[in-house]
């Protein structure tokens, strides 16, 4: 590819700075690869490019919300129902329905009139009924929910229901929120929460979670995509002290929310090859200031995170098996694991590898990416892999060969 002109660079910079959500698409999209987000930012600010690259690996799927002023509300509402369906527990759905309906008293307490709000509750109830039926019928996927949320009336009704509950909750618990608001709480509710297309802000989101979501035993985590330092989006758990059975994850870019889905722990991404390399070589960390893999709790919490974040965007070597070159076989004390091995542990259990790592020298910062030059797009590889003498002997480079 040709290097980008300064004008193009400027355009991409502008694109990332002033991200404007798509107002044409569906209200709620189908689940799609979050690789698209990485592509969107590939030529933008290096921090954003790095973070979205990592994101595509840690959270491989996303669901885009229409940026019509309701995206945050819609993302949480959809995530809530999607999670309830995914848990496939009919009695839980019934309990939730009863709990949500009992929250009508909140609206009554703040003077909302039932004959005005009941149609919103009806719509929510209808979604619950659809979920119950889907669980009972063994409906394979959540496309019925996507359809329901793309139906304007039902989508608006559920969102309005959740908005009114949030508003009532805030009015009944002003001490929890007033200090964080720049205007009187009643006014905030009237102009920011009870309206039809005012985007949710952090205080409103917290109140929505406190009132509607938390009681379901669901957690909400926001992953901030911003230009702060770091190589991964910054996660923030909204009710960190409560145990939850599942977590709704939101990707936040200024003014816009989408849903994110973490890599399934059962999906094996075969990090074995690079582990082997790291363990059998004398290396020096290529970026002294970087946070080591083992001291970054967010990365450590990701099951089977592979060493090279860009690796996950390439076809899996399991899908197109490669055999190690003779050179590797003769020099490495470790063989490349068979796929069966990979499912058990990222480190082959037959190899006494951990003991070979000197305590004083932490493992390399596996998630570091080389700094990007401005001369155009490039495939970001783990620097170790990019060393020419290694690229011949390490099978991990194979997926990148054209």
Partner 1 sequence: MGSQKRIAKELGELVQSPPDGITVELADESNLYDWKVHMEGPEGSPFEKGRFLIKLTLPTGYPFKPPSVSFATKIYHPNVTNDDKGSMCLGMLRPDEWKPSSKISAVLEFARQLLAEPMPDDAVEGRIAEQYKNDRKRYEEIARDWTRKHAT
Q: Which residues sit at the interface with partner 1, rule CB under 8 A?
A: 112-113, 115-120, 122-123, 152-153, 156-157, 160, 164, 190-191, 194-198
Would you say 97 or 302 has its CB closer to partner 1?
A: 97
What's the CA angle centered on 189, arms 165 and 98, to 5 degrees?
0
CA distance 11 to 15: 6
Query: Which residue, 53 or 204, is less far from partner 1 as judged by CB?
Result: 204
Nearest distance in Å: CB 196, partner 1: 5
The Cα-based distances of 303 to 237, 300, 355, 366 in angstroms read 18, 7, 21, 14
Which residue lies nearer to partner 1 by CB, 116 or 357? 116
CA atoms within 13 A on the CB side of 351: 21
- Helix (H) / strand (E) element for 7: namely helix 6-17
Report the residue number, 28 or 225, with the smaller CB distance to partner 1.
Answer: 28
Q: HSE of 17 in the Cβ direction (CA atoms, 13 Å)? A: 6
Q: How far is the CB of 120 from partner 1 (least distance, A)?
A: 7
Residue that is written with structure tokens 């995509």 in the block: 225
Q: How far is the CB of 18 from partner 1 (least distance, A)?
A: 21
Output the smallest distance, CB 107 to partner 1, in A: 9
Beta strands 218-224 and 246-253, pairing class: parallel
Minimum CB separation of residue 112 from partner 1 in Å reads 6
Cα→Cα distances 291→230, 253, 279, Å: 9, 24, 18
Distance CA 62, CA 82 (A): 13
Q: What is the rounded CA–CA span in Å between residue 394 and residue 178?
A: 58
Q: Which residue, 63 or 163, has its beta carbon nearer to partner 1?
A: 163
Three-state secondary-structure class, residue 215 = helix
Of the pair 10, 147, the CB lying nearest partner 1 is at 147
Taking CB atoms within 8 Å and a gap of at least 24, the contacts of 82-87 are 82/142, 82/145, 82/259, 83/216, 83/218, 83/246, 83/248, 84/131, 84/216, 85/131, 85/134, 85/135, 85/142, 85/145, 86/142, 86/246, 87/245, 87/246
Return the structure tokens found at 201: 């802000």
Q: Least Å distance between CB 118 and partner 1?
A: 8
Report, in Å, the least distance between residue 204 CB and partner 1: 15
| Shortest separation between residue 113's beta carbon and partner 1, angstroms | 7
Nearer to partner 1, 121 or 205 (CB): 121
Quote the least distance from Cβ 119 to partner 1, whole Å: 4
Nearer to partner 1, 120 or 128 (CB): 120
Cα-to-chain-centroid distance, residue 385: 27
CB nearer to partner 1: give 200 or 220: 200
């Amino acid at each position: 590819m040709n290097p980008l002109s300064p004008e193009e660079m400027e355009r991409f910079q502008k694109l990332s700075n002033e991200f404007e959500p798509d107002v044409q698409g569906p209200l709620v999209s189908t689940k799609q690869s979050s690789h698209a987000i990485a592509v969107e930012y590939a030529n933008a600010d290096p921090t954003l490019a790095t973070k979205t690259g990592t994101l595509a690996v840690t959270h491989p799927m996303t669901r885009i919300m229409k940026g019509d002023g309701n995206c945050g509300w819609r993302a949480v509402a959809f995530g809530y129902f999607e999670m309830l369906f995914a848990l496939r527990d009919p009695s839980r759905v019934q309990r939730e329905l009863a709990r949500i309906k009992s929250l009508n008293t909140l609206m009554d307490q703040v003077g909302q009139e039932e004959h005005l709000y009941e149609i919103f509750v009806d719509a929510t109830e209808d979604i619950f009924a659809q979920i119950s039926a889907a669980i009972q019928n063994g409906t394979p996927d959540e496309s019925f929910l996507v359809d329901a949320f793309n139906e304007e009336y039902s989508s608006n009704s559920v969102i309005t229901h959740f908005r009114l509950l949030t508003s009532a909750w805030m009015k009944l618990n002003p001490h929890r929120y007033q200090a964080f608001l720049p205007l009187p709480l009643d006014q905030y509710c009237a102009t920011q929460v009870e309206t039809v297309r005012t985007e949710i802000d952090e205080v409103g989101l917290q109140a929505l979670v406190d009132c509607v979501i938390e009681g379901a035993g669901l957690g909400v985590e926001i992953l901030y995509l911003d230009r702060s330092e770091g190589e991964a989006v910054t996660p923030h758990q909204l009710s960190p002290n409560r145990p939850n059975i599942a977590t709704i994850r939101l990707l936040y870019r200024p003014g816009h929310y989408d849903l994110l889905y973490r890599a399934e722990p059962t999906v094996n991404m075969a990090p074995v090859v690079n582990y082997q390399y790291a363990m059998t070589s004398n290396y020096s960390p290529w970026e002294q200031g970087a946070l080591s893999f083992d001291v970054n709790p967010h990365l450590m919490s990701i099951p089977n995170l592979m060493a090279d974040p860009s690796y996950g965007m390439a076809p899996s070597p399991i899908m197109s098996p490669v055999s190690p070159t003779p050179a590797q076989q003769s020099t490495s004390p470790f063989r490349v694991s068979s796929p069966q091995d990979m499912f058990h542990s990222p480190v082959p259990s037959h190899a006494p590898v951990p003991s070979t790592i000197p305590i004083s020298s932490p493992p390399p910062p596996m998630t570091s990416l080389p700094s990007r030059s401005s001369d155009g797009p490039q495939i970001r590889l783990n620097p170790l892999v990019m060393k020419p003498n290694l690229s011949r002997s390490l099978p991990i480079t194979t997926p990148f060969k054209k």
